[in-house]
Amino acid sequence: MAKRFPKAFFVFLGALFLLNLIQSFFTPLIYDETYYWYYAQQLAWGYFDHPPMVGFLIWLGNSILAGELGVRFLSCILGSGTITILWLLVDNDLKKKYVPHFFLLLFSMALFNAYGFLTLPDTPLLFFTALFLFVYKKFLKEPSIVMSIALGVVMACLMYSKYHAVLVIIFVLISNLSLLKNKFAWLAVIIALLCYVPHFKWLYDHNFVSIEYHISERPNQPYTFEGFTLGYLLNLIVNFGLLFPWFYWVLFQSKPKTKFKKALVYLSYGVIAFFFLSSFHRRTQAQWVIVICIPMAILTYEYLLQNGKSRKWVYRISMVSAVLLLYARMGLIHKPMLPIIYETHGNKEWSKELKNIVGDTPVVFENSYRRAPMFSFYSGNETFSLNNIYYRRNQYSIDSSEAALQNRRVAYVTPFATSGDFSYTTLSGRKYFGSYIDNFQSYRKLECQIDDKEIVLNNEELSLTIYNPYEEKLDLNDFNFNVGYLNKYKQLKEIKPLLLTSNNSEQFLKPNDTTILKVKLTIPEKIVPHYIKFAVSKNGLLPGINSTSIKIEK
């Protein structure tokens, strides 16, 4: 052990682990963390937005510890594990002389730093990317059945972390196409696919809702260089902070002589290029390229070990970066230290205010998969995100949360109200109004379909198939049927009533049964639409999201 890890390594690793534990305990959760905490309340092989790894980690952490620390405990462990694996992947004995440089280099990467304690899908993605490269390096030296099994299991864990993980596997493969002729590599692929079968089944059982959302249902915006491509290039800088010139210079001048180093370079360039091309189509987020931190950290540290002048400069600048990031981390806890209101600020306060008003009454939040789990985490109340056509579907659209509140008294909070039975105010000064509903009824899982994949916008009659997934008979006369018109970026621009013609099917729709309504579309007035969505409402609630986007044939 001493040959691989000098004493200084464990001193720095232990100090960083302790820092992350303290940070986890004192820092309130951010919105995404509470959303993934909500995942963990109903363990499954998949969720609307992501594979299940993040939910499993939170569930496991909460089985050990309570509160914020329980949510983040496994992230602290994985963060330390990622650093340990990175150390092992550096092939230079000089590293034992420059342990502080290693930790300062890693600490200077802002998002890598944050994922040392925040529990997000990128946290296990980073860990399993590092572990994948570690196992792959051993596989290159001595391929065997045992190494194939290990590689296959790690690839499956990668894919269970985040769908972006497929890029890691693809670009490593491209760096070494001889793997296509390697029987042990194919065995690893088979093992990975077998391990991933439960998620494939979950996707099939849920009509591939995750894939459909990420590929085709996510709304977009018109392209601008500043908002899309320039924003992406800035994200590449943000990932590496003040040391970004060294990271990219090292990558640029790298001339790999081994298959493993080639994998590091191909992975880095591949991910950068993939999302650069994507930036001409849609906005990218800084964390989408987070995996390049793993190979580029290895390449950069090995370069610094061989270049004393650069090592001195990086050490000095990384000290400044460390001070700034430590200050920012303290600001996550204590609001006055930061010039902005961040997600960790004020959520406990508004949750307490709302809890004092509604007591133990379940709360329905209109169009907010963020505030619903945040309030639930800090209050203990049951919550539900009631998503309407002006918003998007999420985990609340496909799980059992709607059924749990059906026909019960709820407190209904909506951003569209300007008055109500009660109100609460967030730290930013935003005031939300709510009202009590004695018999809450929501039917957001009604499914509307048109047989044709594309339709012509004219006055012709259409056959609309309605599927009732509920265990109760529904009176269709109690519902209002609407159609939403979307532009080519799938942004809702107009909503119109759906005209029901006189020759419709029976009035009542039996449980788990379908009926066909004869309808006509009301021609929109404000736009020339590219897509439509069907939306159903009842009891005065805003129309839901009751179909996918259906293309209009021009």
> How do residues 135-189 score in pLDDT, each as one tens digit?
999 999 999 999 999 999 999 999 999 999 999 999 999 999 999 999 999 999 9
β-bridge partners, 463: 518
Question: Looking at the predicted structure, is the pLDDT value of residue 108 above 60?
Answer: yes
For the segment 359-382, the average pLDDT, to the nearest whole number, is: 97
Residue 532, pLDDT score: 92
Radius of gyration (C-alpha) of the chain in whole angstroms: 26
- Region 68-93: what's the mean pLDDT? 97
Give the whole-number percent of the chain exceeding pLDDT 70: 98
Give the pLDDT confidence of 165-180 residue by residue, as tens digits: 999 999 999 999 999 9
**CB contact set of 458 (below 8 Å; sequence gap of 6+):** none
Q: CB within 8 A of 113, min separation 6: which ones?
A: 106, 107, 325, 329
- The string of DSSP codes covering 304-371 is HHH-HHHHHHHHHHHHHHHHHHHHHHHHHH-GGGSSS--TTSSHHHHHHHHHHHHTT--EEEET-TTH
- What's the pLDDT tens digit per position in 349-360? 999 999 999 999
Q: Which domains does the chain have, with CATH numbers?
A: 7-335 (no CATH), 347-437 (no CATH), 447-553 (2.60.40)
Q: Which of 144-153, 317-326, 327-336, 456-465 has the lowest mean pLDDT?
A: 456-465
Beta strands at 363-366 and 410-414: parallel, antiparallel or unpaired: parallel
Specify the pLDDT at position 504. 58
The predicted pLDDT at position 218 comes to 84
Residue 502's pLDDT band, with cuts at 50, 70 and 90, is low
- At 539, give phi and psi (nearest 5°): 60, 30
Torsion from C-alpha of 434, 438, 444, 446, nearest 10 degrees:
-160
pLDDT at 335 over 80: yes
Contact 193, 226 (CB under 8 A): no
Query: Residue 261: its pLDDT value, please?
Result: 97
CA 268 from centre of chain: 21
Across all residues in the chain, what is the average pLDDT?
94
Q: Work out the average pLDDT over 507-521.
A: 88
Per-residue confidence (pLDDT) for residue 453, from 0 to 100: 59
Instruction: Quote the CA–CA distance of 318 and 101 in Å, as a whole number.
Output: 8
Q: What is the pLDDT of residue 487?
A: 92
Q: Which residue bears the tokens 């609307």?
A: 48
Q: Give, for 436, the enclosing helix (H) or strand (E).
A: strand 431-437
pLDDT confidence tier of residue 507, bands split at 50, 70 and 90: confident
pLDDT at 458 over 90: no
pLDDT tier at 554, thresholds 50, 70, 90: confident
Mean pLDDT of 512-529: 88
What string of H, E and C letters represents the secondary structure of 94-106?
HHHHCHHHHHHHH
The reported pLDDT for the residue numbered 195 is 98
Q: What is the pLDDT of residue 161?
A: 98
- Split at pLDDT 50, 70, 90, the class of 448 is very high
Task: Give yes or no for residue 506 having a pLDDT over 70.
Answer: no
pLDDT in tens, 211-232: 999 988 888 889 999 999 999 9
pLDDT digits (tens, 9 = 90+) for 254-295: 999 999 999 999 999 999 999 999 999 989 999 999 999 999
Say what the pLDDT of residue 457 is. Answer: 79
∠ CA 233-235-240 to the nearest 5 degrees? 110
Kindly state the average pLDDT of the residues 463-485.
Answer: 92
pLDDT band of 452, cuts 50, 70, 90: low
Q: Is 159 helix (H, G, I), strand (E, B) or coil?
A: helix
Residue 2 has pLDDT above 60, yes or no: no
Alpha carbon distance 398, 206 (integer Å) = 8
